[in-house]
Amino acid sequence: MPLTALKVKHAKPGRHSDMHGLYLVVRDSGSRSWMLRIQRKGWRRDFGLGPAHDVSLAEARCLASDIRKMVRAGLDPVKERGLNRARTADFETVARRCYEALKDGWKNGEHASWLPSLENHVFPLIGRKPIDEVDSAAVLRVLDPIWVTIGPTARRLLQRIGTVLDYAHIKGLIPSEVSLKSVTRGLPRHSHKVTHRKAMPYADVPGLVGRLCRFSNTVGRDALKLTILTAVRSNETRGATWREFDLNAGVWVIPPQRMKMKAEHIVPLSPPAIALLKRIHVERSAIDGQVKPERLVFTCNGKTPVSDMTLLKVLRAMNLGDVTVHGFRSSFTDWAAERTDIPKEVVDKALAHQIPNAVEAAYRRTDFFEKRRALMNDWAAYAGAEM
């Protein structure tokens, strides 16, 4: 619907369409300016027509009409009228604004990989591209090289790019929503074949832990040690805060929002795990003074958790081939099955696995805590951990 002088005066921040490509752009500061978008023969250009306090709605329409006539006549408005291309924020700038605007509403740890994934895979290709020129073809160019090799990451990137574009539309940086539904049609179908992450044989774990304990302590090595000793997922270790630990009772309570199954997980801590955490706490206290309960345990900057790659680099530096961090959960499972008489349901509870049978889950209310404490103590003793 065309603008009116009253609408121009009272328009909220954003981009407001008049007609035939003419827009009123209202910044968060309240400043108002005119922008003309012209698309012709496959190219698109935006022209700034001046601030609204100097150029009235009627004048902006006349100027826009003159520019459209120039373009149809094959003339360049920049040369003929001395106009400037309207400056549009690039994708990277908008993505960082989007991250800052939304991160506080995300669950703990969810934002940790959001920006790094864009920095690694998206910004190098389309980071400098004006936000209003990012379309399905541009997104396809980003995802095509990684769609098969790192499919889960590529799918997350598709969703995150869509979030940035939606944010840009809401903020008036692009005139209409950008649909990315067609992107996947230009990409190969993902295979649904299950591939298990490479795990270290449980018999090799004591040797690995011994090597880790001989090396100097780092955030990555300490995080890997705790992950092995507790058999938790690496993201549960990386997102841990001091509030979750009761070292006197030897208990780690991971809140539901950080768990894969969205259920609280209580982890019994073995003596080596407690010693590890106490040593880290003492070291952190020496640097920061009082350690706040909400502070991350494993962080380099005090604000964000260490990345999963930090833990993986520890393994790669030890020349362990393609062994993965997640694979230590399998090492623990195999050890429990081969070297103990602990029932499978206790091991499953230690791994925070969900009971597949709904009826059985409804009646089994115990969490086998004392049995799991004995199990984790035996696992730490087997690994030969001395923290």
pLDDT tens track for 209-235: 999 999 999 999 999 999 999 999 999
Assigned superfamily of 91-186: Tyrosine recombinase, N-terminal domain (1.10.150.130)
Positive or negative CA dihedral for 312, 313, 318, 319? positive
- Confidence at residue 379, expressed as pLDDT on a 0 to 100 scale: 97
Residue 356: what are its φ and ψ, rounded to 5°? Answer: -65, -30
Higher pLDDT: 352 or 186? It is 352
Average pLDDT over residues 313-322: 92
- Confidence at residue 363, expressed as pLDDT on a 0 to 100 scale: 44
Q: Which residues pair with 251 in a beta bridge?
A: 246, 268
Average pLDDT over residues 104-119: 74
Does residue 385 register a pLDDT over 70?
no
Assigned superfamily of 5-85: Integrase, DNA-binding domain (3.30.160.390)
Class of domain 202-383: mainly alpha
DSSP label at residue 231: T
Q: What is the pTM of this model?
A: 0.54
Does residue 13 register a pLDDT over 50?
yes
> How far apart, in whole angstroms, are the C-alpha atoms of residue 155 and residue 67?
42
Does residue 291 register a pLDDT over 70?
yes
| 49-103 tens-digit pLDDT | 888 888 889 888 988 888 888 888 877 666 655 555 555 688 999 999 999 888 8
**Domain spans in the chain, listed from the N-terminal domain onward:** 5-85, 91-186, 202-383
| 237-263 tens-digit pLDDT | 999 999 999 999 999 999 999 988 888
The two three-digit tokens of residue 378, written as one number: 């035996």
Query: How would residue 359 be classed by pLDDT, with cut points 50, 70 and 90?
Result: very low
